[in-house]
Amino acid sequence: MKMRHKIAQRHPVQFHIRGKCIRLALLILTYIDNSHCFDVYWNIPSQTCQQFGIYINASQYGIVQNTDDVFYGDKVSIFYGPGKFPWIENDLPVNGGIPQNASLIDHLQMFTDEVTKKLPKDFKGVSVLDFERYFPSYDMSAVEYKESSIAWVEAMHPGWTPSQIETEAIKTFNETSREFFEILLWKGREMHPEALWGYYHYPYCQNDGPQEYRCQPQVVVHNDEMSWLMEASTALYPSIYIFKDSGWDPVSRRRNALVRIKEAIRVRKNIGKNIPILPYFWYRYHDSSDYLTPLDITNT
Protein backbone atom coordinates (compact mmCIF):
# COMPACT_ATOMS: atom_id res chain seq x y z
CA MET A 1 0.00 0.00 0.00
CA LYS A 2 1.22 3.47 -0.78
CA MET A 3 0.73 6.50 1.37
CA ARG A 4 1.04 10.22 0.61
CA HIS A 5 0.63 13.74 1.92
CA LYS A 6 -1.54 16.72 1.06
CA ILE A 7 -1.85 20.36 2.00
CA ALA A 8 -5.06 20.86 3.92
CA GLN A 9 -6.69 24.12 2.93
CA ARG A 10 -9.45 24.11 5.53
CA HIS A 11 -7.58 22.77 8.55
CA PRO A 12 -3.91 23.62 8.07
CA VAL A 13 -1.24 22.64 10.56
CA GLN A 14 0.80 25.60 11.70
CA PHE A 15 4.46 25.49 12.62
CA HIS A 16 5.90 28.68 14.09
CA ILE A 17 9.53 29.17 13.10
CA ARG A 18 11.42 32.27 14.25
CA GLY A 19 8.27 34.34 14.45
CA LYS A 20 7.07 33.25 11.02
CA CYS A 21 4.17 30.93 10.37
CA ILE A 22 4.48 28.15 7.83
CA ARG A 23 1.37 26.14 7.06
CA LEU A 24 2.01 22.46 6.62
CA ALA A 25 -0.14 19.39 6.37
CA LEU A 26 0.50 15.77 5.68
CA LEU A 27 -1.28 13.47 3.33
CA ILE A 28 -0.65 9.81 2.87
CA LEU A 29 -1.84 7.79 -0.09
CA THR A 30 -2.15 4.07 0.11
CA TYR A 31 -1.71 1.64 -2.75
CA ILE A 32 -2.97 -1.81 -1.80
CA ASP A 33 -0.51 -4.29 -3.26
CA ASN A 34 0.75 -7.67 -2.11
CA SER A 35 4.26 -7.04 -3.42
CA HIS A 36 5.28 -4.69 -0.59
CA CYS A 37 3.94 -2.93 2.48
CA PHE A 38 3.45 0.76 1.65
CA ASP A 39 5.28 3.84 0.43
CA VAL A 40 4.92 7.22 2.11
CA TYR A 41 5.02 10.31 -0.12
CA TRP A 42 6.02 13.72 1.23
CA ASN A 43 3.77 16.39 -0.26
CA ILE A 44 4.44 19.27 2.12
CA PRO A 45 5.82 22.71 1.09
CA SER A 46 8.69 22.32 3.53
CA GLN A 47 11.02 23.92 0.99
CA THR A 48 9.83 27.22 2.48
CA CYS A 49 11.53 26.26 5.74
CA GLN A 50 14.91 26.59 4.09
CA GLN A 51 14.77 30.39 4.35
CA PHE A 52 15.02 29.88 8.11
CA GLY A 53 17.96 27.52 7.82
CA ILE A 54 15.80 24.47 8.38
CA TYR A 55 16.21 21.56 5.95
CA ILE A 56 13.87 18.60 6.12
CA ASN A 57 15.21 15.34 4.75
CA ALA A 58 12.21 13.04 4.88
CA SER A 59 13.84 10.57 2.52
CA GLN A 60 16.17 9.39 5.31
CA TYR A 61 13.13 7.67 6.82
CA GLY A 62 12.25 5.89 3.58
CA ILE A 63 9.70 8.53 2.61
CA VAL A 64 9.45 9.38 -1.09
CA GLN A 65 10.31 13.08 -1.37
CA ASN A 66 10.62 15.43 -4.34
CA THR A 67 14.16 16.30 -5.35
CA ASP A 68 15.34 19.45 -3.53
CA ASP A 69 12.18 19.24 -1.41
CA VAL A 70 10.14 21.28 -3.89
CA PHE A 71 6.35 21.17 -3.69
CA TYR A 72 5.75 20.55 -7.40
CA GLY A 73 8.46 18.06 -8.21
CA ASP A 74 9.48 14.79 -9.78
CA LYS A 75 7.70 12.43 -7.36
CA VAL A 76 4.39 13.98 -6.29
CA SER A 77 2.36 17.10 -7.08
CA ILE A 78 -1.15 18.30 -6.29
CA PHE A 79 -3.07 20.92 -8.28
CA TYR A 80 -5.60 22.98 -6.32
CA GLY A 81 -8.47 24.30 -8.44
CA PRO A 82 -6.79 23.16 -11.66
CA GLY A 83 -7.60 24.85 -14.94
CA LYS A 84 -10.46 27.32 -15.00
CA PHE A 85 -13.36 25.59 -13.33
CA PRO A 86 -16.48 27.75 -12.90
CA TRP A 87 -17.90 28.05 -9.40
CA ILE A 88 -20.06 30.26 -7.19
CA GLU A 89 -18.50 32.35 -4.42
CA ASN A 90 -20.73 34.30 -2.01
CA ASP A 91 -23.65 33.98 -4.44
CA LEU A 92 -21.54 35.45 -7.25
CA PRO A 93 -20.42 33.51 -10.33
CA VAL A 94 -16.71 32.95 -10.90
CA ASN A 95 -15.61 31.93 -14.40
CA GLY A 96 -19.28 31.69 -15.38
CA GLY A 97 -20.53 30.13 -12.15
CA ILE A 98 -21.80 26.84 -13.59
CA PRO A 99 -20.22 24.61 -16.24
CA GLN A 100 -23.06 25.28 -18.72
CA ASN A 101 -21.98 28.93 -18.75
CA ALA A 102 -18.19 28.49 -18.85
CA SER A 103 -15.43 28.03 -21.42
CA LEU A 104 -14.06 24.52 -21.75
CA ILE A 105 -11.35 25.80 -24.10
CA ASP A 106 -10.07 28.32 -21.55
CA HIS A 107 -10.26 25.64 -18.86
CA LEU A 108 -8.12 23.23 -20.86
CA GLN A 109 -5.60 25.87 -21.91
CA MET A 110 -5.03 27.12 -18.37
CA PHE A 111 -4.54 23.58 -17.12
CA THR A 112 -2.12 22.77 -19.92
CA ASP A 113 -0.08 25.86 -19.09
CA GLU A 114 -0.08 24.99 -15.39
CA VAL A 115 1.10 21.43 -15.95
CA THR A 116 3.78 22.57 -18.39
CA LYS A 117 5.07 25.09 -15.87
CA LYS A 118 4.96 22.96 -12.72
CA LEU A 119 5.81 19.41 -13.73
CA PRO A 120 9.14 18.13 -15.09
CA LYS A 121 9.00 16.97 -18.70
CA ASP A 122 9.71 13.39 -17.69
CA PHE A 123 7.28 13.35 -14.75
CA LYS A 124 6.09 9.84 -13.84
CA GLY A 125 4.91 10.37 -10.28
CA VAL A 126 1.73 11.08 -8.35
CA SER A 127 -0.41 13.86 -9.82
CA VAL A 128 -3.54 14.82 -7.88
CA LEU A 129 -6.30 17.17 -9.03
CA ASP A 130 -8.22 18.84 -6.21
CA PHE A 131 -11.50 20.59 -7.02
CA GLU A 132 -14.18 20.42 -4.32
CA ARG A 133 -16.63 23.23 -5.07
CA TYR A 134 -19.15 20.79 -6.53
CA PHE A 135 -19.43 17.29 -7.96
CA PRO A 136 -19.85 16.25 -11.58
CA SER A 137 -23.34 15.30 -10.43
CA TYR A 138 -26.38 17.57 -10.16
CA ASP A 139 -27.90 15.58 -7.29
CA MET A 140 -24.74 15.63 -5.17
CA SER A 141 -23.89 19.29 -5.74
CA ALA A 142 -24.90 22.19 -3.49
CA VAL A 143 -28.24 23.93 -3.94
CA GLU A 144 -26.74 27.09 -5.46
CA TYR A 145 -25.54 25.11 -8.47
CA LYS A 146 -28.98 23.58 -8.92
CA GLU A 147 -30.69 26.95 -8.67
CA SER A 148 -28.22 28.55 -11.08
CA SER A 149 -28.68 25.72 -13.56
CA ILE A 150 -32.46 26.08 -13.40
CA ALA A 151 -32.17 29.87 -13.89
CA TRP A 152 -29.83 29.31 -16.85
CA VAL A 153 -32.29 26.97 -18.57
CA GLU A 154 -35.26 29.19 -17.71
CA ALA A 155 -33.58 32.20 -19.33
CA MET A 156 -33.04 30.18 -22.51
CA HIS A 157 -36.54 28.65 -22.54
CA PRO A 158 -38.95 31.05 -20.81
CA GLY A 159 -41.99 29.18 -22.10
CA TRP A 160 -41.05 25.81 -20.62
CA THR A 161 -42.80 24.21 -17.67
CA PRO A 162 -40.95 23.88 -14.35
CA SER A 163 -40.66 20.13 -14.96
CA GLN A 164 -39.10 20.63 -18.38
CA ILE A 165 -36.72 23.23 -16.99
CA GLU A 166 -35.55 21.03 -14.13
CA THR A 167 -35.05 18.04 -16.43
CA GLU A 168 -32.92 20.12 -18.77
CA ALA A 169 -31.00 21.67 -15.86
CA ILE A 170 -30.06 18.22 -14.58
CA LYS A 171 -29.10 16.99 -18.03
CA THR A 172 -26.96 19.98 -19.01
CA PHE A 173 -25.24 20.26 -15.63
CA ASN A 174 -24.27 16.58 -15.62
CA GLU A 175 -23.06 16.65 -19.22
CA THR A 176 -21.00 19.83 -18.99
CA SER A 177 -19.56 19.19 -15.53
CA ARG A 178 -18.41 15.79 -16.77
CA GLU A 179 -16.57 17.53 -19.60
CA PHE A 180 -14.83 19.91 -17.20
CA PHE A 181 -13.70 17.11 -14.88
CA GLU A 182 -12.88 14.48 -17.47
CA ILE A 183 -10.92 16.61 -19.91
CA LEU A 184 -8.21 17.39 -17.35
CA LEU A 185 -7.61 13.69 -16.74
CA TRP A 186 -7.27 12.99 -20.45
CA LYS A 187 -5.01 15.99 -20.98
CA GLY A 188 -2.83 15.06 -18.00
CA ARG A 189 -2.48 11.51 -19.29
CA GLU A 190 -1.61 12.81 -22.73
CA MET A 191 1.11 15.10 -21.36
CA HIS A 192 2.49 12.60 -18.81
CA PRO A 193 1.22 9.13 -19.68
CA GLU A 194 3.19 7.35 -16.95
CA ALA A 195 1.96 9.59 -14.11
CA LEU A 196 -0.82 8.63 -11.68
CA TRP A 197 -3.70 10.99 -12.45
CA GLY A 198 -6.86 11.27 -10.37
CA TYR A 199 -9.09 13.57 -8.32
CA TYR A 200 -8.68 13.96 -4.58
CA HIS A 201 -11.52 12.50 -2.49
CA TYR A 202 -12.93 10.21 -5.20
CA PRO A 203 -14.70 7.91 -4.72
CA TYR A 204 -16.71 9.59 -1.98
CA CYS A 205 -18.28 7.78 0.96
CA GLN A 206 -19.68 10.45 3.31
CA ASN A 207 -19.80 8.19 6.37
CA ASP A 208 -19.06 11.15 8.60
CA GLY A 209 -20.62 9.94 11.84
CA PRO A 210 -19.00 7.73 14.50
CA GLN A 211 -21.49 4.90 14.01
CA GLU A 212 -21.69 5.05 10.22
CA TYR A 213 -20.05 1.79 9.22
CA ARG A 214 -21.06 1.99 5.58
CA CYS A 215 -20.98 4.63 2.87
CA GLN A 216 -24.17 6.57 2.34
CA PRO A 217 -26.31 4.41 -0.02
CA GLN A 218 -27.10 7.32 -2.32
CA VAL A 219 -23.40 8.20 -2.55
CA VAL A 220 -22.62 4.63 -3.60
CA VAL A 221 -25.21 4.99 -6.36
CA HIS A 222 -23.62 8.25 -7.50
CA ASN A 223 -20.15 6.68 -7.44
CA ASP A 224 -21.46 4.09 -9.87
CA GLU A 225 -23.01 6.80 -12.02
CA MET A 226 -19.64 8.59 -12.02
CA SER A 227 -17.72 5.47 -13.01
CA TRP A 228 -16.50 7.38 -16.08
CA LEU A 229 -14.41 9.56 -13.72
CA MET A 230 -12.74 6.54 -12.17
CA GLU A 231 -12.23 4.91 -15.58
CA ALA A 232 -10.44 8.03 -16.86
CA SER A 233 -8.19 8.07 -13.78
CA THR A 234 -4.96 6.15 -13.35
CA ALA A 235 -5.19 6.25 -9.54
CA LEU A 236 -7.91 6.76 -6.92
CA TYR A 237 -7.41 9.24 -4.06
CA PRO A 238 -10.10 8.76 -1.39
CA SER A 239 -9.80 10.64 1.90
CA ILE A 240 -9.44 8.79 5.20
CA TYR A 241 -9.21 11.86 7.44
CA ILE A 242 -10.63 10.91 10.82
CA PHE A 243 -12.43 12.77 13.61
CA LYS A 244 -11.67 13.02 17.32
CA ASP A 245 -14.73 14.43 19.12
CA SER A 246 -18.54 14.01 19.00
CA GLY A 247 -18.64 10.39 20.04
CA TRP A 248 -15.68 9.05 18.11
CA ASP A 249 -13.42 6.36 19.57
CA PRO A 250 -10.51 4.36 18.12
CA VAL A 251 -12.80 1.56 16.95
CA SER A 252 -15.19 3.86 15.10
CA ARG A 253 -12.30 5.79 13.57
CA ARG A 254 -10.74 2.60 12.27
CA ARG A 255 -14.04 1.36 10.85
CA ASN A 256 -14.73 4.74 9.28
CA ALA A 257 -11.43 4.64 7.39
CA LEU A 258 -11.84 0.97 6.48
CA VAL A 259 -15.27 1.56 4.92
CA ARG A 260 -13.84 4.28 2.67
CA ILE A 261 -11.04 2.01 1.53
CA LYS A 262 -13.52 -0.78 0.82
CA GLU A 263 -15.63 1.57 -1.30
CA ALA A 264 -12.57 2.50 -3.36
CA ILE A 265 -11.78 -1.20 -3.80
CA ARG A 266 -15.38 -1.85 -4.87
CA VAL A 267 -15.27 0.97 -7.40
CA ARG A 268 -11.94 -0.21 -8.76
CA LYS A 269 -13.30 -3.73 -9.19
CA ASN A 270 -16.38 -2.43 -11.00
CA ILE A 271 -14.38 -0.48 -13.56
CA GLY A 272 -12.14 -3.49 -14.17
CA LYS A 273 -8.87 -1.59 -13.84
CA ASN A 274 -6.23 -2.54 -11.28
CA ILE A 275 -5.17 1.04 -10.63
CA PRO A 276 -3.51 2.23 -7.40
CA ILE A 277 -5.67 3.30 -4.47
CA LEU A 278 -3.90 6.10 -2.62
CA PRO A 279 -5.89 7.37 0.37
CA TYR A 280 -5.18 10.81 1.75
CA PHE A 281 -4.07 10.56 5.38
CA TRP A 282 -3.52 13.53 7.70
CA TYR A 283 -1.54 13.41 10.91
CA ARG A 284 -4.09 15.56 12.73
CA TYR A 285 -7.77 14.97 13.38
CA HIS A 286 -10.14 16.58 10.92
CA ASP A 287 -12.04 18.36 13.71
CA SER A 288 -9.21 19.09 16.14
CA SER A 289 -5.76 20.64 16.28
CA ASP A 290 -4.50 17.56 18.13
CA TYR A 291 -2.10 15.14 16.50
CA LEU A 292 -3.30 11.58 15.98
CA THR A 293 -2.50 9.21 18.79
CA PRO A 294 -0.15 6.30 17.99
CA LEU A 295 -3.15 3.98 18.20
CA ASP A 296 -5.14 5.94 15.61
CA ILE A 297 -2.10 6.19 13.36
CA THR A 298 -1.68 2.41 13.50
CA ASN A 299 -5.39 1.72 13.05
CA THR A 300 -5.70 3.92 10.00
pLDDT higher than 90, residue 183: yes
Beta bridge partners of 126: 76, 196
Cβ neighbour number for residue 286 with a 10 Å cutoff = 15
Residues 229 and 200: beta-carbon distance below 8 Å: no
Give pLDDT tens digits for 75-90: 999 999 999 999 999 9
Beta bridge partners of 198: 128
Burial status of residue 33 (CB atoms within 10 A of its CB: 0-12, 13-18, 19 or more): middle
Give pLDDT tens digits for 193-227: 999 999 999 999 999 888 888 999 999 999 999 99
- What's the predicted TM-score (pTM) here? 0.87
Burial status of residue 36 (CB atoms within 10 A of its CB: 0-12, 13-18, 19 or more): exposed
Q: Write down the pLDDT at residue 300.
A: 87
Cβ neighbour number for residue 18 with a 10 Å cutoff = 8
pLDDT higher than 90, residue 14: no
pLDDT higher than 70, residue 6: no
Beta bridge partners of 79: 129
Q: Write down the pLDDT at residue 35.
A: 55
The CA R_g of the chain, rounded to the nearest whole Å, is 20
Active site residue 190: no
Sorted by sequence, the CB contacts under 8 Å of residue 242 that are 6+ apart come out as: 248, 253, 256, 257, 285, 286, 292, 296, 300
Give pLDDT tens digits for 46-105: 899 999 999 999 999 988 999 999 999 999 999 999 999 999 999 999 999 999 999 999
94-108 burial, b at 16+ Cβ within 10 Å, e below that, comes to: ebbbbbbebeeeebb
Give the separation between CA 270 and CA 132, rounded to whole angstroms.
24
Cα–Cα nearest to 111, from 87, 140, 135, 79: 79
Give pLDDT tens digits for 128-151: 999 999 999 999 999 999 999 999
Cα–Cα nearest to 181, from 214, 224, 228: 228
Of 132, 175, 190, 194, catalytic: 132
